[in-house]
Each structure stands twice: as C-alpha cells, then as structure tokens.
Amino acid sequence: MNKVSQTGILLAALLLLPFAPLLQAQELLPGLRVWGNFQMDAQYYQDDADIATDTVPEKILMNGFANINLAYENLTIGFRYESYQNPLLGFDSRYKGSGIPYRFASYTQDNLEVTLGNFYEQYGNGLVMRSYVEPNLGIDNAMDGIKLLYRPAKGVTLRTLIGEQRLFFDKGPGIVRGADAEIYLNEAFEALSGSQNQLTLGVSGVSKYQRDRDPTYHLPENVAAFAGRMNFARQGFNLNAEYARKANDPSADNNFIYRHGEALTVSSSYSFSGFGLLLSAKRIDNMGFRSNRAATGNDLHINYLPAMTRQHLYSLTGMYPYATQPTGEVGALAELTFRLPRQTLLGGPMGTTVIVNFSIANAIDKQPLSNETIFRQTGREPQENDPRINVPGTDGYTSGFFSIGDEKYFQDFNIEISRRFSRNFRGSFTYMNLFYNQNQIEGYDNKEDVKAHIVVTDMTYRLPNRRSVRWELQHLSTRQDNGDWAMAMVEYSIAPHWFFSASNQYNYGNDDKDQRLHYYTFHAGYNKNANRFSLGWGRQRQGIVCVGGVCRVVPASTGFTLSVTSSF
Amino acid sequence: MKLLKTLFYIFLILAVPVVFSACDDMDEPYLVQTAPPVDPDPDDPDNGNDTIVRKYLLEKFTGHRCVGCPAGDETAKILKDFYDDRLVVVSIHAGFFSMPLGEPYTMDFRTPEGNELNSHFGISSNPNGLISRREYEGSLILPPASWGSAIVDMEDIPAEFSLSLEVEEKSPGSYSLTAFINALKPMTENFRLVVLLTESGIVSPQSISGNPNYPEGVIMDYTHNNVLRKGITNIWGAELNKGALAPSILLEKDYDFSLEPDWVAENCHIVAFIMREEGNENGYPLEIMQVESIPLAE
C-alpha cells in the first residue's frame, strides 16, 4: 500500500473515530446526517478461443468502492474506499490494490466554504478546469489540496483551488492552481432582478507547475489557461458560450509543440410546449491540458473537452462512439424535438415524440511552418521528407480560426420516434446513419472509414400483476470493419423487485467466416429498496465505452458477472 | 458606496483568476542548443573513475504498424544526438503493432528475446521505453516524453563498472567477441552480462499519422535503426559474479556468434550491458549499471 493510501486511511480513521459512537446513536446528536453508497463489479473469466480472450490467471477480477459521508451543522467529512483485486479487464492495471484515495473535510462559515483534502471542481463548461470521477471509464482526476468558495455578495461567486491530481493510488507530479469568478447579474444588480433576460458572466484562470527536467527542450514550468463565458436565458431561449486560451504547453499530447491552445463552444436552445431546438458548435485547437506533460491516455487531465455528439445507449448505435480530439477538431450538433399531438393522424391516440439529431466533427485546417521558422525554433535544418507540421520544438503549425480541415472524423444523423400505442404498450423506433473515421478515433493505421446504417426498435408491453416485457431488435449494416450485425434482446420484469433478460448480438456479416459469432448474455437481477443485485453470464465482444467523448477499450471476454450496488 | 462596491467586485472578478495563474512564455529557440560535456577521452581504456562515465540504455518498444512510433523514434534520435555515445538505443519490435499483417507490412522484426522482454515488462502500448530499467516518477515503463527527464535524473549517478568490447571476424559472417568488465568499487551483489546484436539502416514500411507528406498513413521507405536482431547471450544474461566482486579483478567474457545472410554487417552494432540481478536498497531489479556499444564492422 503506498503512502497516499496509508495517509488516507489514517486521516479517515482520525476524522471518523470521534463520531463512531454517534453513528449508532444519532438521536444523541440531532441533525447528524450519514449517507453513502457502494458498488462492486466482479467477473469470473472463462477462456474462449473463438473470440481470442485474454488469459486471466486470477480467474476472478473485481472493482469495488464505497463512499461514506457525515454532515453535522456546517461540517461535512467523508471518504471513499476503493479495492481492485485485481482490476477488471479493460481498466488500467495501475489500479491494483486497495486504499482510501479520496478523503475530505469541509465546512461553511459566513458564505465561505472551505474544503481540505480531495475534491472535484469544474469551471464553466470545463474547458480549463474539470476534475471528476467516472467509475465506468476508470477515470478519477480528483484534486488533493485546498478549495475555497466564497460568495461576497448576492450573485457573485468566487472559487479558488490549489493541489495535486490523483493518479491511481498516487499523485501526479504537477501542482494545479485555479480561480473562477462568476456573476449572476440579475441577482447582483437590483435593477435587473425583475428582468426576463437572465445573464451570467464568468472568467477562469488555471495554471499548472511541473519542473523541467528535460535535457533537450526549454520547457515552460508554469503553463496557464484562461477562459471567459456567458450564459443568457430568456423564457424558453438559452445561449451559452465559452472561449478558452492556453499558453505554450509542449507535451506528449501535441508532440512537444509550443503553439498556444484555444477552444470555443457555443450552445443555444429554444423550447416551448411540444417543441425543442438545440444548436451547438465548437472549435478545439491544441487544448490538451494535463498536470504531467508526459502523461497519455486518460491520465491527469486538468480540463475537459466536450464531445458534442449524441450519446447512444443501444448496443449497436453505441458501437462506434466518438472520442474528442484534443489536438484539433471542429464540431457541430443540431437536435430538433417535437411532439405530435395526441388524437391526431400522425400523433396517434396518445401522442408521438420525434427527435431528429445531427452531429459532425472535422479536422481543423493546419498549415505547415516554413523551413526558416523550423530552423529558427529548433536550430536544425529540416530535410526534404521531414514533416513541416507538428515538428517537436516548434510552434507546430498555423491555423485560421474559421478554417476547417479536409478530413472528416465523425458524422451521425439519427431520428428517433417514440409512441405510446395504448395504456400498456409503448415503443420507439430509431434510424441512424453513421460515418466513423476509425484510424483517427481509435488510432489504427489501416482501417477504412466506417459507413453504417443502424435501425433499432424498442418495445415495452405492460402485463397484469405488475409484470412487463421489453424487447429490442437492432440491425447494423456496413461494408467496413466487421460487417453486419443483428441484435435481439428480451427483458421480463416483475415489479418492483425482479428482472430477467437474454440478448444476442450476431456478427453474421463478418468477411471472416470464423468470426461470424454470437455474443449472447443472460442476466437476472433483484432490487430491494436501495440495494440492487445483478448476476449474468455470457460473451462480450471487444468494444469501446465512452462517456462524454472520453473512452475506454473493453476487451472481449466470456464468463460470469456479478454487480452489487447499494446506497444509504 | 454602492458604486465603489460594484467596482471592487468587478476588480475581484477579473483579478482573482489572474492572480491564481502563472505562466512561462518561452522564447525561441525552443530546443537546447548545447550538448552536455562529453567524456574527454572515451577511447581511453583507463580504469580510473574520473574518465569512466555511466552510460544509459534506452530500450524502445515499437512496431512498424504503430502510428505514433515515428514520433518516438524522433525523440530517441534527438536524445541520441544530444548524448552521443553516452546513450545507447535498442529498438525492440514486439507486441500487437509489430506483427506482420500482409502488404506492405510483411517484414517481421520480432525476436524471441524481444517478445520475452515485452511480456516480462508488461508493455501494452507503443511507443514506450525503459531508461536503464530505472523508475522515473514512480514508473518503469516510460512514454517518449519522459525519456529525456529520466536520463537527467541519472546524470549524477557515478559509474560503478567499466565495460569495453572487442570483436573480430573469424570467417565471413562469423565473429568472436570479448567483453572486459571491471567493478569500480567493491561489490557484494550478483550481476549479469547481456550481449545483443542490433542492425540499423533497414528500409521497410512504417505507419504514421498526422503527416500530410504521407496521406496514406504509411512511409514505404522508412529507415528502421537500432533494431534488435538477436541475443548473443540469453536475454537475461550470463552470470558475471556470485557474491563479492573486487575492483582489482578484470573479468573477460568470450562469445562466438554469426549473422543471418540478409543482415548487413556494416550496419550492425554489438550492445552489451551489465544488469543487477535483484532489486534492493541500492537499486532496482534488472537495473542496467553500465552499457557499451561498438560497430560490428569498422
């Protein structure tokens, strides 16, 4: 167990020990609140030569964690215990072991909130600062230090932080400092309090420090990023925009170029009864920002760059998820939602909801540097076939803010129609047209762009005695990658406690006949109040799990799974 | 008073983020132009500690279908230009991205020795490397961005061994090698000697991404350098000593080996290194204490 875990356990014990008697005698301390949650996922792995599963010498792998929090008057303390014995396949092996990597104490006094220890934070949309936890991805870049939040006046919020980031059961080498100021004008200025126009302005500054030990580069030890944002709302209309700029930050993310980074996100929505329109656009240019310039993968991100694509929940529509490209991308999303009224020809007896969604992501245009610039910045004369873009130790490239590159990364057009046919019967139909640049998104070198048509039907029928049955039929049609897929799932529920499901994905269109395999799974689960148990068996195909543009590879596996969640 | 308060809050809102940000704006040139001092007489076989420096070994795990590996090769080249003879590079082709997969990736640079190293160290992505098998910032397996810093971290560690090599061609394609090893201080641990053969100048396709000069994502005439070709000893080495090793003892180890017919002798190098057998308070398991490299044919 490393020093962080040992310190965490000791601190948690010291903080909680005085309250130990009180946990069982809350009536002695009225107002004491205790709450928490628990999650455990375990899998027994079986060898399956058909899908070339990894050999798991332990046979059983497990990820688990529990959060426990106490609050009394203006004081809150808590911790999270995590255990990976060993981590499930697809999770970073550096999660191995157990410990208390998250512990904190915070209090509030006269509009000042002080947090000591671990904390999460986000400034605006996260373009310069977002630390968060996503257990399904194995992401946790929690800060360990001090966070202050102060409200000096109505509508004004000031936040600052300083600390190091979590890296598995240890900490990254960099120190992160940040501050954010936000003013909600309608609260801050009495003259605007009754206005229908609601306006919020914010500005953030974040910097990191990491010692320069590199012998070949003059590396900046302090790198700062600034952002300004606004949010305007009036009745059903909302407009949100944020611009961020980062100073020179040569790192493994950008091949050690000294170009500044910048990002712009704009999102607007308009809705009224039965109608909603969402329009978003973004530009990202060299905005990877980590507290260790050598970090890769999902390690030590300081900021968060949104994906701006629809997150699909069905297995085939979610087979090719988009991952944000921090080195540069331009994206847009448009979503139209409308409700066809009930008792009409198109709306049917109980109404129909239609969602039309379109998103696209493209490269930004990058122009090469001149030989003179490269020589001036590196001291080396470039050779004939040497690249003139992203040369280490240079500014990298030039790029006009409104210039879009030629390479398309991702495009998704989908339409979803949901309808309640009767009191007991409802369903939805989804069509998706997909373009997916597999080389760019997944880091391959020889894959074709995937062009696919996907259809999904999802039906639920309510039976007597609180039973219901749900079934899905899905189909993916493509000539690239692994070819066509068909999927069927049926789920039987006995409310409020039981559910049973069986599903099968069949890769019948694979060019390799030996890979035309079935991926079948069977699940049973039991819910009682806040406890949920789920037991499954089956075969899982290799895939990618993404949340908000951040992804994790899931290797193929066969075996039993057990999931337990609980909260109190 | 209200106006003053408003102005104060505006100042606070604008100033607080600036106060909490600090930034170093770098001037050109961005690369360090001056190399560190080089051993004044690297050919001197003198056993005196003041002329013998500890050399570093970069074991670079790579693959011809790894799109990020040309950038890793570039980093290794920059470091090699910077450190010259003090840094020895071995490119180990192993793992998923080194597998031949039909045209144009028909060459197979994998070796049993490289596969074993890849498996032992748990290399799961490319490019990655080891710097003398020492941990840097808690990690043994290092991305290219950390190689330079990891070497700097070692710069103050004095040499504990001297190592020199002599090679002689017995007949066309057959060679005999002698390694001379001398401990520079009394040693009580066990050490092993590993000898490898590498070849440079091999022209063969290499995947690349993000270079508009190669829109197809492959450099057909890429020059692969320092490619591990074979182990002259077992990859875990030959026993050098068992127990105490005094500075007065000069060890000699002899090996015979031959080249494959398609290897170019003029492009080959012998790489030998002394490896600590077990980790302890003095250092890391399998840590490379000294390394030397000579061309096979002058």
For the segment A60-69, what is each residue's pLDDT rounded down to a tens digit?
Answer: 999 999 999 9
Residue A516 CB contacts under 8 Å (≥ 6 apart), including other chains: A506, A507, A508, A509, A510
**pLDDT of residue A50 exceeding 50:** yes
CB of B215 within 8 Å of a chain A CB? The answer is no
**Which residue of A170, A213, A303 is the best one to mutate when testing the B interface, meaning the one whose CB has the most B CBs within 10 A?**
A213
On the 0-12 / 13-18 / 19+ scale of CB atoms within 10 A, B159 is middle
- Position A90 scores a pLDDT of 86
Q: How far apart are the two ends of chain B, measured CA to CA in Å? A: 86
B145-171 pLDDT tens trace: 999 999 999 988 999 999 999 999 999
Nearest CA in chain B to A168: B138
Q: How far apart are CA A330 and CA A309, in angstroms?
A: 12
Out of B22, B78, B149, name the one closest to residue A207 (CB).
B22
- Position B211 scores a pLDDT of 73
Out of A293, A376, A392, name the one closest to residue B74 (CB).
A392
CA distance B294 to chain A (A): 25
Among B residues 96-125, those touching chain A with beta carbons less than 8 Å apart: 101, 122, 124-125
Token reading at A172: 């990254």
Q: Tokens 């290799």 belong to which residue?
A: A542
- Letter string b/e over residues A390-408, b meaning 16 or more CB atoms within 10 A of that residue's CB: bbbbbbbbebeeeeeeeeb
CB of B216 within 8 Å of a chain A CB? The answer is no
**pLDDT of residue A328 exceeding 80:** yes
CB of A445 within 8 Å of a chain B CB? The answer is yes
A237-284 pLDDT tens trace: 999 999 999 999 999 889 899 999 999 999 999 999 889 999 999 999
Pairing of strands A557-567, A33-46: antiparallel
Residues in A closer than 8 angstroms to B211, CB to CB, are 387, 389-390
Do the Cβ atoms of A216 and B79 come within 8 Å? yes
Residues A534, A523: contact at Cβ < 8 Å?
Answer: yes
- Position B16 scores a pLDDT of 64
Q: How far apart are CA B226 and CA B93, in angstroms?
A: 10
Categorize the per-residue pLDDT at A381 as very low, low, confident or very high, splitting at 50, 70 and 90: confident
- Position A477 scores a pLDDT of 98
- For the question of an ipTM over 0.90, the answer is no
CB of B46 within 8 Å of a chain A CB? The answer is no
The whole-number average pLDDT for the span A482-497 is 95
A543: number of Cβ within 10 Å = 19
Nearest CA in chain A to B155: A215
CB of A464 within 8 Å of a chain B CB? The answer is no
Categorize the per-residue pLDDT at A400 as very low, low, confident or very high, splitting at 50, 70 and 90: very high
> Which position has the higher pLDDT, B23 or A181?
A181
**pLDDT of residue A383 exceeding 90:** no
Which residues, given as ranges, of chain B have pLDDT below 70?
1-21, 34-50, 210
Token reading at B94: 């192993």
**Cα A521 to Cα A198, B67, B236, B270, distances in angstroms:** 50, 35, 44, 54
A2-36 pLDDT tens trace: 544 555 554 555 555 455 544 444 556 788 999 99
Residue A480 DSSP code = S
Q: How far apart are CA A352 and CA A419, in angstroms?
A: 5
CB of B253 within 8 Å of a chain A CB? The answer is no
**Which residue of B31, B33, B83, B123 is the best one to mutate when testing the A interface, meaning the one whose CB has the most A CBs within 10 A?**
B31
- Position A160 scores a pLDDT of 95
CA distance B288 to chain A (A): 21
What percent of chain A lies above the pLDDT cut of 90?
74
- Position B18 scores a pLDDT of 63
Do the Cβ atoms of B30 and A209 come within 8 Å? no
**pLDDT of residue A385 exceeding 80:** no
- Position A164 scores a pLDDT of 97
CA B293 to chain centroid:
12
Out of A220, A292, A295, name the one closest to residue B24 (CB).
A220
Residues in A closer than 8 angstroms to B207, CB to CB, are 445-446
CB of A93 within 8 Å of a chain B CB? The answer is yes
CB of B220 within 8 Å of a chain A CB? The answer is no
CB of A221 within 8 Å of a chain B CB? The answer is yes
Pairing of strands B218-219, A156-167: unpaired
The torsion angles phi and psi of A305, rounded to 5 degrees, stand at -110, 115
The torsion angles phi and psi of B13, rounded to 5 degrees, stand at -65, -40
Residues in B closer than 8 angstroms to A440, CB to CB, are 209
Do the Cβ atoms of A220 and B18 come within 8 Å? no
Do the Cβ atoms of B21 and A203 come within 8 Å? no
Do the Cβ atoms of A440 and B25 come within 8 Å? no
Residue B155 CB contacts under 8 Å (≥ 6 apart), including other chains: B36
- Position A395 scores a pLDDT of 95
Coil, helix or strand for A316?
Answer: coil
CB of A293 within 8 Å of a chain B CB? The answer is yes
Categorize the per-residue pLDDT at A523 as very low, low, confident or very high, splitting at 50, 70 and 90: very high
CB of A192 within 8 Å of a chain B CB? The answer is no
CA distance A331 to chain B (A): 19
Residues in A closer than 8 angstroms to B74, CB to CB, are 392
H or E, element range at B145: helix B144-154
Out of A248, A292, A376, name the one closest to residue B29 (CB).
A376
Out of A156, A377, A439, name the one closest to residue B30 (CB).
A377
The torsion angles phi and psi of B146, rounded to 5 degrees, stand at -100, -10
Residue A369 DSSP code = P
Closest-CA residue to B15 (of A528, A91, A179): A179
A140-173 pLDDT tens trace: 999 999 999 999 999 999 999 999 999 999 999 9
